[in-house]
């Protein structure tokens, strides 16, 4: 006969399971937030529809524009949504309580990173399908596809680092205002507007922004060209932003 061992044996879940469960929770919270869905999908889809309706009359070419809108969506997910969400979690003591559980600080950050990647991939797929339905026909090369994949990943890392720097130091209300302001500035500074459209004296500065690197990469990808320089730009930004976030982020308000 076997005997039952009913003694309690409490133990945390395996680390990978903790991270994946936290990532799932973060993803559910993002999809339930109306403001974040507005930035992530509603505005970009509206821009794609607007180009399909009036783009030819306004002289806006479909191929680079849809690629720019996908970059805008990734910017909103990697920076704006993450900054606002994290700032309010810090204000209400959510982060302070979470790190008192078996979910450690590194696990929490990895869970947020997994959420950003999952949401960004789904977002890019939806916007790309909407663009194709509106007549978008990109002509990517194999080399630029590899470059674009690297730039997207490093851009999301850079955006997330910058988001955590802002959310980890500023108040929730200030983060809300600044994140939305920076979102608009980023959209105008290289995401939707190509570098060539800026005055000559501003182009060298604009081209060094991570938002510009992402926008130019996806526009080049859609047009069939190859340009690996943005990969270096976003790599530098990613390392610097994540290092700064690790140094200055505060878990309590």
Q: Which of 6-20, 140-154, 191-205 has the lowest mean pLDDT?
A: 6-20
Distance CA 98, CA 105 (A): 8
Please determine, for residue 33, whether its predicted confidence score (pLDDT) is greater than 90. Answer: no
- Give the pLDDT band of residue 252 (cuts 50, 70, 90): confident
- Write the pLDDT tens digit of every residue in 89-112: 899 888 888 877 887 777 887 888
Distance CA 175, CA 189 (A): 20
Report DSSP letters for 177-209, one per residue. Answer: HHHHHHHHHHIIIIISS-GGGS-TTTHHHHTTS
pLDDT at residue 2 in the model: 63
Q: Can you count the helices (H) and strands (E) in the chain?
A: 12, 0
- Write the pLDDT tens digit of every residue in 157-174: 999 999 999 999 999 999
pLDDT at residue 22 in the model: 85
Dihedral sign for Cα atoms in the order 11, 17, 21, 23: positive
Please determine, for residue 35, whether its predicted confidence score (pLDDT) is greater than 90. Answer: no
pLDDT at residue 9 in the model: 66
The residue-averaged pLDDT of 77-87 equals: 91
pLDDT at residue 142 in the model: 93
Distance CA 234, CA 144 (A): 15
Q: How many CB atoms lie within 10 A of CB 94?
A: 15
pLDDT at residue 131 in the model: 92
Mean pLDDT of all residues belonging to the chain: 88
- Write the pLDDT tens digit of every residue in 203-219: 999 999 999 999 999 99
Distance CA 92, CA 104 (A): 18
Chain CA centroid to CA 53, Å: 28
């Amino acid at each position: 006969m076997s005997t039952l061992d009913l003694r309690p044996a409490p133990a945390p879940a395996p680390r990978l399971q903790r991270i994946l469960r936290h990532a799932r929770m973060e993803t559910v919270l993002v999809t339930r937030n109306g403001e974040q869905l507005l930035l992530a999908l509603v505005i970009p889809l509206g821009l794609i529809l607007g180009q399909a309706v009036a783009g030819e009359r306004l002289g806006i070419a479909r191929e680079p524009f849809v690629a720019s809108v996908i970059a805008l969506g990734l910017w909103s997910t990697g920076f704006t949504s993450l900054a606002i969400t994290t700032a309010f979690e810090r204000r209400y003591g959510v982060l302070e309580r979470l790190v008192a559980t078996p979910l450690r600080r590194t696990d929490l950050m990895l869970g947020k990173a997994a959420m950003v990647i999952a949401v960004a991939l789904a977002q890019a797929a939806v916007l790309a399908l909407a663009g194709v339905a509106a007549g978008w026909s990109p002509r990517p090369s194999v080399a630029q596809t590899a470059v674009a994949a690297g730039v997207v990943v490093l851009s999301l890392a850079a955006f997330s680092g910058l988001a955590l720097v802002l959310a980890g130091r500023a108040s929730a209300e200030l983060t809300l205002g600044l994140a939305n302001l920076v979102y608009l500035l980023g959209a105008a500074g290289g995401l939707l507007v190509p570098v060539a459209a800026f005055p000559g004296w501003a182009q060298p500065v604009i081209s060094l922004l991570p938002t510009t690197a992402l926008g130019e990469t996806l526009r080049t990808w859609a047009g069939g060209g190859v340009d690996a320089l943005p990969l270096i730009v976003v790599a530098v930004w990613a390392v610097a932003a994540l290092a700064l976030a690790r140094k200055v982020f505060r878990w309590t308000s």
